[in-house]
Structure 1
Amino acid sequence: MLMPFSPTFPIRTDRLILRPFNHDDLEGLNAIQSLPEVARYVYWEPRDLDESAEALEIRIGQTTLTEEKQPITVAVELAETGELIGDAMLFWQSEQHRSAEVGYVFHPRHHGRGYATETVAALLELGFDGMGLHRIFGRIDARNDASARVLERVGMRREAHLVENEFVKGEWTDEVVYAILRREWRARR
């Protein structure tokens, strides 16, 4: 992989546009991040406008990879309307092992329509074809059945169930790890 790496934006799918965040996204991002059901399976609590503004500033700068342990973060909008419906990332874990992690959150109003699956598929393509990665994985709270279905639909296999491995929001939680290799991704295409 050549560094620095920066995707050619926007990334278009059948129904979505994945693009860098900008300052105009504050209201839409907060509409997502302020919801308890969105924050349920992530490390942060529902965010107020100021907290979303801080998160947005970080996301605005996450468009180029210069070293491992960095994410590329994208705003996910509906191509038809331009509405911000989600937030996704490809987090470069290791240069030596050519691995990355995917993550995503979507406004509940847009759940069940395949948008998360479409987004993750685009991030897998970016990682495997754009960056030349070997392995991409996703880590989810074991209770998050909807997210497990997303990862399974893009061809990831369940590799591990870690019992009470993290203390999150006052409780021990289980984590499930899904992954897919580049050769598996290509075989599915």
Structure 2
Amino acid sequence: MTGSPFVLPPAPEKLEVTRERVRLRPFEESDLEAMAVYRGDAEVCRFLPFEPQTADDIRRRNGHLIGCTSLEGERGGVMLVIERTDDGAVIGDLVLFHLDAEAGSAEIGWVMSPAASGKGLATEAVRALVDTAFDVYGLRRLVAQIDADNERSAALAERIGMRREAHFVENEWFKGRWSDLLVYAVLDREWTAPGPSAP
């Protein structure tokens, strides 16, 4: 069998997703300083594939995604900042990347400011990202890869209804230790079922 039944729809020209307490939009140059506040925190970066970052570090690593709304291309992806709707403060960011166009699959990830933790804002934001991936980008499968020691992120993935598909034991030397990797996933048809999309 050749080819794939999946066809990626055109990328949106503009993207803004608003929920009750959070707004998602493509990140801009003007967001770099706010992002560096939480991405510069060693504890925030403990389980992430980079060390604490300055605004210049973020620009070098992710600058090609500024304003981007397309998943396609060798370095394609969408990076969205999370704003609180009440005051416009940037409290985190989300990524949708590693597109497998033939399979209609992509990876999601998130980074949150500790100042926003414990309020359900990350859950609301990641749910909005999943909605966007399925409804706007027409994807059929999403994956999240999480360090097994990152209990908060694993709990978030499970809270929104993602399924744990794999646990790779000591699969990578990561930040001074052999780390375990958890892989979570959800299909579009599962997401439209009552559980995951409920508030």
* TM-score (norm: length of structure 2): 0.87
* Deviation per residue, 1:76-122 (Å, 9 max, x gap): 11011010000101114211111111100011111111111111111
* Deviation per residue, 1:47-78 (Å, 9 max, x gap): 13421343452331532233476221101110
After the TM superposition, list the runs of 4 or more consecutive aligned residues in structure 1 that deviate by more than 4 angstroms: none
Q: Cα distance, 1:2 vs. partner? A: 4.0
Match of 1:122 in 2: 128
More helix by share: 1
Match of 1:63 in 2: 69
* Deviation per residue, 1:7-40 (Å, 9 max, x gap): 6421101111101111211210110111001110
Asked if structure 1 preserves the Cα contact closer than 8 Å seen for 2:83 and 2:92, the reply is: yes
1:21 aligned to 2:27? yes
1:84 aligned to 2:93? no
Match of 1:111 in 2: 117
Q: 1:157 aligns with which of 163, 177, 180?
A: 163
1:133 aligned to 2:134? no
* Residues 128/69 of structure 1: CA separation in 2 closer, same or farther (3 Å cut): farther
Aligned ranges for residues 27-46 of structure 1 at < 5 Å? 27-46=33-52
User: Using the alignment, how far apart are the partners of 1:136 and 1:80 within structure 2?
Assistant: 29
Aligned to 1:39, what secondary structure does the other structure show? coil
Asked if structure 1 preserves the Cα contact closer than 8 Å seen for 2:15 and 2:69, the reply is: no
User: Using the alignment, how far apart are the partners of 1:151 and 1:17 within structure 2?
Assistant: 20
* Residues 130/50 of structure 1: CA separation in 2 closer, same or farther (3 Å cut): closer
* TM-score (norm: length of structure 1): 0.91
Q: Cα distance, 1:179 vs. partner? A: 0.8
Match of 1:100 in 2: 106
* Deviation per residue, 1:141-169 (Å, 9 max, x gap): 00111111111111101111101111212
When structure 1 is superposed on structure 2, of 10-19 and 123-132 the one drifting more is: 123-132
The answer for unaligned runs of 5 or more in structure 1 is: none
Asked if structure 1 preserves the Cα contact closer than 8 Å seen for 2:163 and 2:184, the reply is: yes
Asked if structure 1 preserves the Cα contact closer than 8 Å seen for 2:72 and 2:99, the reply is: no
User: Using the alignment, how far apart are the partners of 1:68 and 1:160 within structure 2?
Assistant: 26
Output the amino acid matched with 1:14. Answer: E
Match of 1:179 in 2: 185
